[in-house]
Chains A and B, each alone.
Chain A
Amino acid sequence: MDAGFFRAWVAEIAAVVETQRDHLTQLDAAIGDADHGINLSRGFGAVQAALAQASAATPGSVLVLAGSTLISKVGGASGPLYGTAFRHAGKALGDGPEVDLPALAGALEAALSGVQKLGAAREGEKTMVDALAPAASAFSKAVADGASPTGAFSALADAAEAGAQATIPMQALKGRASYLGPRSVGHEDPGAASTALIMRALRDVAARPAP
């Protein structure tokens, strides 16, 4: 996987976030402040614009630039959290022009630990961690077990989606939804939902035939 692959991933995220913008915002309206889709759409739009201007030629530099742009342009909690996720993932990928599946698995684990350190969230607290943690772990396991790329990326996206769905019965303990207490139960966490979309975008880009 080269820089082009990661540029394609980010482009796919931007497209998906755009089509799911209102859905994400509605999820946020139910238990937050109704801006998640709007913010991510603005953020990944800015990432697209930044990448179009930049020569970022390695997978790591593409993700670091994406993360820095999210931190600079999004605001809210999602800006620093997603920005940190992409930056940590990018740094973990290093300077090489190509990365393999184990390197990507390490990058996803690095993204997770960055998010957890900044947001102080653990699994089960109804946050993006509930989608990212199972996704990273499913991907690492699939790669370690010698799964095919298709199998590993499917495991990643499926685990993220299942993780997002599993937030529905949870009571939020972190972030703005936590103010609802028991009333946060019964709603999918918007951050977990957007993380699932981002993981699905990675699977879909990986499934495309090589150019």
Chain B
Amino acid sequence: MKKLINSPETVVTDALSGLAAAHLGLAVDVENKLITRAGGPTAGKVGLVSGGGSGHEPLHGGFVGYGMLDAACPGEVFTSPVPDQMLAATKAVDGGAGVLHVVKNYTGDVLNFEMAAELAGDEGIEVVPVVVNDDVAVQDSLYTAGRRGTGATVFVEKIAGALAERTAPLGEVAAVAREVNERSRSFGVALTSCTVPAAGKPTFEIGDSEIELGVGIHGEPGRTRGALVTAREITATALDAIAADLALTGDLLVMVNGMGGTPLIELYLVYNEVHKYLTGRGARITRNLVGNYITSLEMQGFSVTVCKLTDSLTDLWDAPVDTPALRWGR
């Protein structure tokens, strides 16, 4: 294992200290692993809290700031945070209008956020959870823990965050978060594995000419192993899987996301294929993101996320945002 670390045990806290030093707009409690906006809660505004295992940076801490999250709770690498962190985050961001929990659909995240919501309820804070489950690679949700939450999490946090900034009530913020989730689908592809620092070995073995189709964001396997073919063919496989589930028409928000170890040149190359595929089928990509937004440590690969926009979703997407990883209009 070759990593830029001091010790496997201090990866998360050392990185949080760096985040704190780099971004003065954030208040980072390194010991309790809690990232909030500097300046405390905004009175009358719904607070947005998300969280999950570390190793997916910039998700979630990089999305804390004006127009997006109020707080993020990072767990250990690839391990959900604990209810204590989520409760502390919920209390820290409650401006009296209630708190939205944005939860990626993984058993650990769901269980811990459930416990935290119950504890917050006991303290008189209204919490509404929204579970993101956009990953079409999980085909048979009857026989699994259900579709995983992946790239659409970024869209949910941005769009719900924008509506919360306009001081919409909790019910409306939760409704738009659910709307974005329902209108979004993702599919991921891995070329290489990744190594959890504390494990020291790659999470899975994969041959030089093999790819994992439908990979999750923790290097957990997907639908099938396939041969390494051209970017055009791989992209078509990913988009075919999405198109089988959601009619890809109208105005689309599209994210081509790197898994952490993919050069930007390849992400733009993939974006070109995505663009040709979608416009060739009569859709319009009216908004896009190309880059590393929800990663899996140093994994090589990409995911593509598509959201069918409406005028009001586009308006919320365009609203000002000022976070370490997403910033425009302000």
Contacts and interface: CB of A to CB of B under 8 A. Distances in A.
Interface stretch (B13-21, B106-114, B316-324): B106-114
B197 to A, nearest CB: 10
A173 B204 CA distance: 21
Nearest to B139: A181
Contacts of B108: 75-80
B144 A75 contact: no
B148 interface: yes
B115 interface: yes
Nearest to A81: B111
Contact of B111 (A25, A34, A38, A80): A80
Given A71-B82, A173-B144, A176-B220, A35 B115 contact: no
Give the interface residue-count category, chain B: 35 or more
B277 interface: no
Given A80-B115, A181-B140, A34 B76 contact: no
A181 B106 CA distance: 16
Contacts of B24: none
A34 B221 contact: no
B222 A76 contact: no
A179 B138 contact: yes
Contacts of A174: 107, 144-145
A183 B221 contact: yes
B83 interface: yes
B201 interface: yes
A207 interface: no
B113 to A, nearest CB: 10
B176 interface: no
B96 to A, nearest CB: 27
B199 interface: yes
Interface string A13-37: 0000000000001000100111100
A42 B79 CA distance: 12
A29 B203 contact: yes
B203 A80 contact: no
Interface in B97-148: 106-108, 111-112, 115, 137-140, 143-145, 148
Interface in A51-99: 71-81
Given A178-B143, A178-B144, A72 B196 contact: no
B241 to A, nearest CB: 14
Contacts of A178: 143-145
B75 A29 contact: no
A77 B220 CA distance: 15
B80 interface: yes
B218 interface: yes
A181 B84 CA distance: 33
Contacts of A38: 76, 196, 198-199
A49 interface: no
A147 interface: no
A118 interface: yes
A176 B148 CA distance: 9
Contacts of B220: 32-33, 176, 179-180
A175 interface: yes
B92 to A, nearest CB: 17
B146 to A, nearest CB: 9
A175 B109 CA distance: 11
A73 B80 CA distance: 11
B79 A73 contact: no
A43 B147 CA distance: 28
A35 to B, nearest CB: 5
Contacts of B80: 75-77, 79
A75 B107 CA distance: 11
A81 B82 CA distance: 12
B78 interface: yes
B81 interface: yes
Nearest to A29: B203
A34 B107 contact: no
Contacts of A173: 143-144
A84 B212 CA distance: 35
B219 interface: yes
A180 B216 CA distance: 10
B93 interface: no
Q: Which 7 pairs of residues, A with B, have the shortest CB-CB distance?
A: A178-B144, A77-B108, A76-B108, A80-B111, A33-B218, A77-B107, A76-B79
19 contacts: A29-B203, A33-B220, A34-B196, A35-B79, A38-B76, A38-B198, A39-B79, A72-B83, A75-B79, A75-B80, A76-B53, A76-B108, A78-B108, A173-B144, A176-B145, A178-B144, A179-B216, A179-B221, A183-B221
Interface of A: 25, 29, 32-35, 38-39, 42, 71-81, 118-119, 171-176, 178-181, 183
Given A35-B199, A38-B76, 15 more contacts: A29-B203, A33-B218, A42-B76, A72-B83, A75-B80, A75-B112, A80-B83, A80-B111, A80-B112, A174-B107, A176-B216, A176-B220, A179-B145, A179-B216, A180-B221
